[in-house]
């Protein structure tokens, strides 16, 4: 366990924003993570890819999760992969694709750590980790004990879980166990944009490596793969989640829009629509913003730091987008990143 004081947090995030931590503790073992997380007020930080930290920083202890380790258990037709919370997510995806294990290939290029995947229920291009998770080992800070949580206990929903909302801050994720399928090809591709990129019909399958490369290419085209040479990748990814509406709310959206918005069916007769589509049609186009903070030139759902920006400027732009969409369409967009010391 390594301790430092007054450490800038911006360089530890993909947005490169945020003031200093009064105390930063870096842990590289589960035991040290449990010990550090016993301080219920400590902030846990790993990949820093889905977080917005105030310009004032965090005037307490920040625990930087740097645990490592991946264990693979081979079974008939299925494979279990247990990974430490601090492992880099895309490195794990790359490894599973190379070892012909299906289940993560559409989640390629997503920045961050393994420990964040159950918190966010990370998903993209028709896949989400909730479908592969069999267990989350975590330290329950309220009970003071290590627990193993089954998927049914995790409260998984679209880009959400009990870790993110109902029990935010209660659990420190230590390890995640996933179950993947031995296969040279993907599951049926169910996302139209990805199917087009692969030259497939919806429902077709493709070699895992081809799916991964196609996803990476699509994400790069949107500035959604970390790249030191691409200023549009200096973001927290998608800043707002795609709204999920009931039938009445979607009909009202259609009426206000004047033509059919994007739609994807959800459980219970609900419909998911595109936050990026709403933002652009509310008058905020790619590249919007004259200062250091603005919309990505490649994707209307990413707010980027062009260099020298502040969290206060980012929050102001996020409010402008949220309020503009609400005024135009009557829909309240919800932020996807964790907001530390700031609010919309």
Whether residue 77 is predicted with pLDDT greater than 80 in this model: the reply is no
Task: Give pLDDT, residue 75.
Answer: 77
- Interval 218-236: pLDDT, tens: 999 999 999 989 999 999 9
Confidence of residue 1 (pLDDT cuts 50, 70, 90): confident
Whether residue 282 is predicted with pLDDT greater than 80 in this model: the reply is yes
As a whole number, mean pLDDT of residues 41-57 equals 96
Whether residue 76 is predicted with pLDDT greater than 80 in this model: the reply is no
Task: Give pLDDT, residue 228.
Answer: 87
Rounded distance between C-alpha atoms, residue 256 and residue 290, angstroms:
29
As a whole number, mean pLDDT of residues 198-202 equals 96
CA angle 176, 133, 217 (to 5 degrees): 95
Residues classed as catalytic:
159, 238, 336
Q: Where are the domains of the chain?
A: 2-65, 70-221, 231-340
Q: Give me the chain's average pLDDT, please.
A: 96
Whether residue 101 is predicted with pLDDT greater than 90 in this model: the reply is yes
Instruction: Check for a shared fold between 2-65 and 231-340.
Output: no
Q: Of 88, 12, 9, which is closest to residue 54 (Cα–Cα)?
A: 9
Architecture of the domain defined by 70-221: 2-Layer Sandwich (3.30)
Q: Does domain 231-340 have CATH number 3.40.50.2300?
A: no
Whether residue 267 is predicted with pLDDT greater than 90 in this model: the reply is no
Rounded distance between C-alpha atoms, residue 270 and residue 171, angstroms:
30
Task: Give pLDDT, residue 215.
Answer: 98
Whether residue 61 is predicted with pLDDT greater than 90 in this model: the reply is yes
Task: Give pLDDT, residue 97.
Answer: 98
Q: Does domain 2-65 have CATH number 3.30.43.10?
A: yes
Task: Give the distance from CA 137 to its chain's centroid.
Answer: 19
Rounded distance between C-alpha atoms, residue 229 and residue 226, angstroms:
9
Q: How far is CA 117 from CA 51, 109, 110, 124, 341, in A?
A: 13, 13, 10, 12, 22
């Amino acid at each position: 366990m390594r301790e430092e004081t007054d450490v800038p947090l911006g360089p530890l995030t993909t947005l490169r924003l945020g003031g200093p931590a009064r105390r930063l503790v870096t842990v590289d073992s589960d035991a040290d993570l449990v010990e550090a997380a016993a301080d219920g007020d400590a902030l846990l930080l790993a990949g820093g890819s889905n977080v917005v930290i105030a310009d004032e920083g965090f005037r307490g202890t920040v625990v930087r999760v740097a645990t490592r380790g991946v264990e693979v258990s081979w079974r008939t037709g299925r494979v279990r992969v247990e990974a430490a919370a601090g492992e880099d997510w895309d490195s794990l995806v790359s490894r599973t694709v190379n070892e012909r294990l299906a289940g993560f290939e559409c989640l390629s290029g997503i920045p961050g750590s393994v420990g964040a995947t159950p918190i966010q229920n990370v998903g993209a291009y028709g896949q989400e980790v909730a479908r592969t998770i069999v267990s989350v080992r975590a330290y329950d800070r309220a009970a003071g004990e290590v627990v193993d949580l089954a998927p049914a206990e995790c409260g998984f929903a679209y880009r959400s879980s009990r870790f993110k909302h109902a029990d935010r801050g209660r659990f420190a994720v230590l390890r995640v166990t996933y179950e993947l399928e031995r296969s040279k090809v993907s599951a049926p591709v169910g996302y139209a944009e990805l199917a087009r990129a692969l030259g497939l019909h919806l429902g077709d399958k493709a070699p895992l490596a081809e799916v991964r490369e196609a996803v990476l290419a699509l994400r790069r085209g949107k500035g959604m793969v970390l790249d030191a040479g691409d200023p549009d990748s200096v973001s927290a990814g998608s800043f707002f989640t795609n709204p999920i509406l009931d039938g009445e709310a979607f009909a009202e959206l259609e009426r206000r829009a004047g033509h059919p918005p994007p739609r994807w069916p959800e459980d219970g007769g609900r419909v998911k629509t595109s936050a990026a589509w709403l933002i652009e049609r509310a008058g905020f186009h790619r590249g919007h913003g004259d200062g250091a903070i603005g919309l990505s030139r490649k994707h209307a759902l990413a707010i980027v730091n062009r260099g020298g920006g502040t969290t206060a400027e980012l929050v102001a732009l996020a409010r402008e987008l949220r309020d503009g969409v609400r005024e135009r369409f009557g829909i309240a967009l919800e932020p996807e990143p964790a907001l530390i010391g700031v609010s919309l």
